[in-house]
Amino acid sequence: MKALFIGGTGIISSAITTQLAEAGCELYLLNRGTRNGNLPDNVKLLQADINDEARVAELIRELDFDVVADFIAFRPEQLERDFRLFNGKTKQFVFISSASAYQKPLSDYRVSESTPLANPYWEYSRNKIACEDYLMKQYREHRFPITIVRPSHTYDERSIPLGVHGRNGSWQVAKRMLANKPVIIHGDGTSLWTMTHNADFAKGFIGLMGNLHAIGESVQITSDETLTWNQIYEAIADALGVKLQAVHVASSFLAACSTEDYTGGLIGDKANSVVFDNAKLKRLVPGFVATTRFDQGIKQTVDYILAHPEHQKEDPAFDQWCDRVIDALNGAIASVKG
């Protein structure tokens, strides 16, 4: 198989790149070259900014592919560019959408590909929906061979997946845990969520590559393991070897008092209970099963981050914000109690 990935080094795509390289796929990565240091030797690089359409057109002028996958597009105009570049040059074009595009609030916590797409809370999700609409139009009108993939919360060894964190990532929350400081969990922590290790996601994704039954289809790829947010934070604390000091704060309150996009990220995504039905994926990719249990995967992530200080990016502004939110909550409790 001959494939081109636009991106290829991110959380979702890096495990796919590694597994395909190990399997001997003729794999090209098109990116700016800022994170290519640990790529397998047999991966071929096309170094360019995908937004430089003329440069990319020249690089691929003599190339055709079985699969082209765009991991970094999130606006319709970027898919319009991809259509101009790859129409007639690939047998399958895979777009990475998002499970956050599903209906919010959900009418049924059980989510399948037939769940409506509608998210009034998050512009990111609305853009993904618009991208899907554009691609389906090209499939219907021009037979552009698209497959839409919807991941949910996917993680790797480089970052701890959380519900509430600052713009510098998740390390500051881990640092608070290590210092025995309280950490914020949105809501009461009992809503249901799904974490998927990128190595498991890769197995499902690779099974869709070159799969003629996936053309014109939308497919979600997640683990079948369902956890509460309390269980997720407990597993992270256990991996760090500390006792969790949790403070539960309403998602609406967090969204109202933060400069981060908690309206989109919480109200439009993580505050909702979701249980994913992967029956369609398993019909298309017989034998697919996610095998990395969260408590096992997060232990690998924590061990890696603790051993690699470059992934320990501090966020003092977020740390101070957490303290203010917790102090305000405790003050309100004291005031009501009199």
Same-domain pairing of 64 and 44: yes
The answer, yes or no, to whether residue 155 has pLDDT greater than 80, is yes
pLDDT of 299 reads 98
- Identify the DSSP state of 263: I
Tell me, yes or no, whether 124 and 201 share the same domain. Answer: yes
CA 57 to CA 116: how far, in whole Å? 36
For 189-211, the pLDDT digits (tens) are 999 999 999 999 999 999 999 99
pLDDT attached to residue 227: 98
Average pLDDT, the chain: 96
In which element (H, E) is residue 281 found? Answer: helix 279-284
Does the pLDDT at position 34 exceed 80?
A: no
Say yes or no: 89 and 187 in one domain: no
At 258 the pLDDT is 87
Residue 165 inside a domain? The answer is: no
pLDDT band at 226 (very low <50, low <70, confident <90, very high): very high
**Do 129 and 190 sit in the same domain of this protein?**
no
Mean pLDDT, range 230-237, rounded to an integer: 98
pLDDT at 37: 67
**CATH number, residue 326:** 3.90.25.10
Same structural domain for residues 16 and 139? Answer: yes
Query: What pLDDT score was predicted for residue 260?
Result: 82
CATH number at 64 reads: 3.40.50.720
Banded model confidence at residue 337, pLDDT cuts 50, 70, 90: confident
* Model pLDDT for residues 80-115, shown as the tens digit of each residue: 999 999 999 999 999 999 999 999 999 999 999 999
Q: Are residues 151 and 300 in the same domain?
A: no
Provide the whole-model pTM. 0.95
Q: Are residues 59 and 143 in the same domain?
A: yes
Q: What is the pLDDT, as a whole number, of residue 338? A: 75
For the chain, what is the domain count?
Answer: 2
- The residue range of the domain holding 14 is 2-155+197-221
CA 141 to chain centre: 30
Whether residue 94 is found in the same domain as residue 113: yes
As a whole number, mean pLDDT of residues 56-84 equals 97
Same domain, 97 and 244: no
131 within 8 A of 74, measured Cβ to Cβ: yes
Residue closest to 171 by CA, chosen among 195, 180, 162: 162
90 and 238 assigned to the same domain: no
Burial 157-186 (b: 16+ CB within 10 A, else e): bbbbbbbbbbeebbbbbbbbbeeeebbbbb
On whether both 187 and 129 belong to a single domain, the answer is no
